[in-house]
A and B are shown apart, each in its own frame.
Chain A
Amino acid sequence: MKLWVPAEVLWIFAGILGLLTLASLVVTFLRRGDAEGRHAELASRVNSWWVMVGIFALAVSIRRDAAIAFFAFLSFLALKEYLSLIPTRRADRRVLFWVYLAVPVQYLWVAQGWYHMFLIFIPVWCFLGVATRMVLKGETRDFLRAVGTLHWGLMTMVFALSHLAYLLVLPDGGHQPKAHGAALLLFVVLLTELNDVLQYVWGRTLGRHKVIESVSPKKTVEGLLGGALSTTLVAYFLAPLLTPLTPAHAIAVGLMIGFGGFIGDVTISALKRDLGIKDSGSLIPGHGGILDRVDSLLFTAPLYFHFLKYFYF
């Protein structure tokens, strides 16, 4: 079988598997002789990482259109979780149906490499279309809340996430003959998820000062800075392997991912706090729902994408 991804991507996947193996060994060591099950949550979290990395590697490596379809499905799951969590109006049942249809259409533009339509379909066409469909229904009670929350969902779960898929077709223009879409994608996904883990580890070990207590009481300045800086360090070393980024740009992107990921994370925390829930779902054992996992990507994917697009493509 011929994979479409270059060797560098496979090497990085091999490295990730090495890290996961190490994590599993550490968890096994921690749990040895631990009858109280104190690390059960950690163990299920690491196990879920294995599953997620496996699915992601498989989805991304085989063919490009399969990878795009995978992100369309991810958007669908995230949007479904979001629409299930927020208050909705009975009058908008059919509107919600149309909102879901935006997912395949947006990813169709991605697969076609139609950049202009990819950019405006949700901010312009869906923005106007959803409002039109809703106002024609004639229900004015909670109208602003409903139209606002639906558009926010489309912008984050569909528009922002679809930037990940567009990375796959970004090198098609030929400006950077050596760049590969899968490598560009792997760079931002790996660093974003690594940043989440590093911020957690730094926060747990050195965290003293709360950073944004009213939204996320466990987040600390030490976690944020330690995570963002170590992510930047990894970005600096990984960039030449996977991206056309210059060293200075790699540092800029590392910081953007470090801090952007944090903002994405706490934005979804604020949303959950507003709705009065803890986890967005139970799809991923140890992590919560899809939103709990893609929250940071909602910010890092568009930031990284447009940085690349402006300077390189």
Chain B
Amino acid sequence: MGLVLRYLWYGVIVRLVVLIVLGLNVRHRERLPAHGPAILAANHNSHLDAMVLISLFPLRLLPKVRPVAAADYFLRNRFLAWFATQVVGIVPIKRKRDHEGEDLLAPVSAALARGEILLFFPEGSRGEPEQLAEFKSGLARLAERHPDVPVVPIFMHGLGKALPRGDWVLVPFFLDLWIGEALRYKGSRDTFMQGYRDAMQGLADEEKRAAWS
């Protein structure tokens, strides 16, 4: 049942919105991983970010591509929890420990062990539209634990204009995506995060984008 709804949701509704109402310009599409396990680490502007990233993959990979999302936000009531886990297919993680020594990243590790492609938003929340916020080090801790899993940086532009936080009217805009070269964990968390920040900045600087002020 859940999987049927997922196919309907991503195969019909999301694709209609993402490809027809919005529209994608993807740079370096060949850098997307063809199979899991992999982590796609993107900037976060809108609830649609994860929908857009999932529509980059063929439908047959649908059961394998899942967004990592905050449990306190998406599991806050029963309907939303059902929708988020059954239809959207999130991997819920908690942002705060309930007890000492709780492993917050355990559900993510389990998903990677199942060979899934996970969408990760290191900014943590959607923040100000079209502005990069500080990347949190959760990504580095995850990469440190899975040094063999590629981390693909993705810079997205446009959804902060189309559907920003706190607004419900969808205004059509073409979305621009730049896929970066896969990173792997080496050295320390700090050097990894610096490498990720540099990669994201490099993607952001690749082309001029329309101003939104």
A interface vs B, CB < 8 Å?
76-77, 80-81, 83-90, 93-94, 96-97, 100, 142, 275-277, 281-283
The residue of chain A having its C-beta at the shortest distance from the C-beta of B129 within the complex is A90
- Chain A residue contacts of B23, Cβ below 8 A: 77, 80-81, 281, 283
Rounded to whole angstroms, the CA-CA distance of A272 and B208 in the bound complex is: 11
- Chain B residue contacts of A81, Cβ below 8 A: 23, 174
- Chain B residue contacts of A86, Cβ below 8 A: 210
Q: How many residues of B contact A (CB 8 A)?
A: 19
Assess the B172–A100 pair: CB atoms within 8 A: yes
- Chain B residue contacts of A142, Cβ below 8 A: 213
Assess the A275–B212 pair: CB atoms within 8 A: no
Residues 186-213 of chain B: 1 if any A CB is under 8 Å from the residue's CB, otherwise 0?
Answer: 0000000000000000000001101111
Sample 19 A-B pairs with CB under 8 A, ordered by A number: A80-B23, A81-B23, A83-B173, A87-B211, A87-B213, A88-B161, A88-B211, A88-B212, A89-B212, A90-B129, A93-B167, A93-B171, A94-B169, A94-B171, A97-B169, A277-B208, A281-B25, A281-B174, A282-B26
Chain A nearest Cβ from B150, distance in angstroms: 25
Assess the B174–A97 pair: CB atoms within 8 A: no
Chain B nearest Cβ from A290, distance in angstroms: 9
Besides the known contacts A87-B213, A283-B25, 18 further A-B residue pairs in the complex with CB atoms under 8 A apart:
A77-B23, A81-B23, A84-B174, A86-B210, A88-B210, A89-B212, A89-B213, A90-B129, A90-B212, A90-B213, A93-B167, A93-B169, A93-B171, A142-B213, A275-B210, A277-B208, A281-B174, A282-B25
- Chain A residue contacts of B210, Cβ below 8 A: 84-88, 275
| Majority secondary structure of chain B interface residues (helix, strand, loop or mixed) | loop
- Decide yes or no whether B180 CB sits under 8 A from chain A: no
Chain B nearest Cβ from A281, distance in angstroms: 6
Which of B164, B171, B174 touches A100 (beta carbons < 8 Å)? Answer: B171
Chain A nearest Cβ from B157, distance in angstroms: 10
Task: Across the A-B interface, give the 10 residue pairs with the lowest CB-CB distance, nearest first.
Answer: A87-B211, A84-B174, A276-B208, A282-B25, A84-B173, A80-B172, A97-B171, A96-B171, A87-B210, A93-B171
Which of A76, A94, A100, A277 touches B207 (beta carbons < 8 Å)? Answer: A277
Rounded to whole angstroms, the CA-CA distance of A80 and B212 in the bound complex is: 15
Chain A nearest Cβ from B166, distance in angstroms: 11
Rounded to whole angstroms, the CA-CA distance of A142 and B211 in the bound complex is: 12
Chain A nearest Cβ from B189, distance in angstroms: 35
Rounded to whole angstroms, the CA-CA distance of A97 and B163 in the bound complex is: 12
- Chain A residue contacts of B207, Cβ below 8 A: 277
- Decide yes or no whether B158 CB sits under 8 A from chain A: yes
- Chain A residue contacts of B173, Cβ below 8 A: 80, 83-84
The residue of chain B having its C-beta at the shortest distance from the C-beta of A283 within the complex is B23
- Chain A residue contacts of B211, Cβ below 8 A: 87-88
- Chain B residue contacts of A89, Cβ below 8 A: 212-213
B interface vs A, CB < 8 Å?
23, 25-26, 129, 158, 161, 164, 167, 169, 171-174, 207-208, 210-213
Rounded to whole angstroms, the CA-CA distance of A94 and B172 in the bound complex is: 11
Chain A nearest Cβ from B165, distance in angstroms: 12
Rounded to whole angstroms, the CA-CA distance of A20 and B26 in the bound complex is: 28
Rounded to whole angstroms, the CA-CA distance of A85 and B213 in the bound complex is: 14
Assess the A80–B174 pair: CB atoms within 8 A: yes
- Chain B residue contacts of A276, Cβ below 8 A: 208
Chain B nearest Cβ from A139, distance in angstroms: 10
- Chain B residue contacts of A100, Cβ below 8 A: 171-172
The residue of chain A having its C-beta at the shortest distance from the C-beta of B160 within the complex is A90
- Chain B residue contacts of A90, Cβ below 8 A: 129, 212-213
Rounded to whole angstroms, the CA-CA distance of A129 and B207 in the bound complex is: 34
Chain B nearest Cβ from A117, distance in angstroms: 24
Rounded to whole angstroms, the CA-CA distance of A88 and B26 in the bound complex is: 21
- Chain B residue contacts of A77, Cβ below 8 A: 23
Rounded to whole angstroms, the CA-CA distance of A283 and B176 in the bound complex is: 12
Rounded to whole angstroms, the CA-CA distance of A215 and B74 in the bound complex is: 51
Rounded to whole angstroms, the CA-CA distance of A87 and B169 in the bound complex is: 20
- Chain B residue contacts of A84, Cβ below 8 A: 158, 173-174, 210
Rounded to whole angstroms, the CA-CA distance of A96 and B161 in the bound complex is: 10
- Chain A residue contacts of B171, Cβ below 8 A: 93-94, 96-97, 100
Rounded to whole angstroms, the CA-CA distance of A100 and B172 in the bound complex is: 8
- Chain B residue contacts of A80, Cβ below 8 A: 23, 172-174
Chain A nearest Cβ from B197, distance in angstroms: 25
Chain B nearest Cβ from A268, distance in angstroms: 15
- Chain B residue contacts of A283, Cβ below 8 A: 23, 25
The residue of chain B having its C-beta at the shortest distance from the C-beta of A100 within the complex is B172
- Chain B residue contacts of A97, Cβ below 8 A: 169, 171
The residue of chain B having its C-beta at the shortest distance from the C-beta of A278 within the complex is B207
Chain A nearest Cβ from B20, distance in angstroms: 9
The winner among B167, B174, B208 for most chain A CB atoms within 10 A is B174
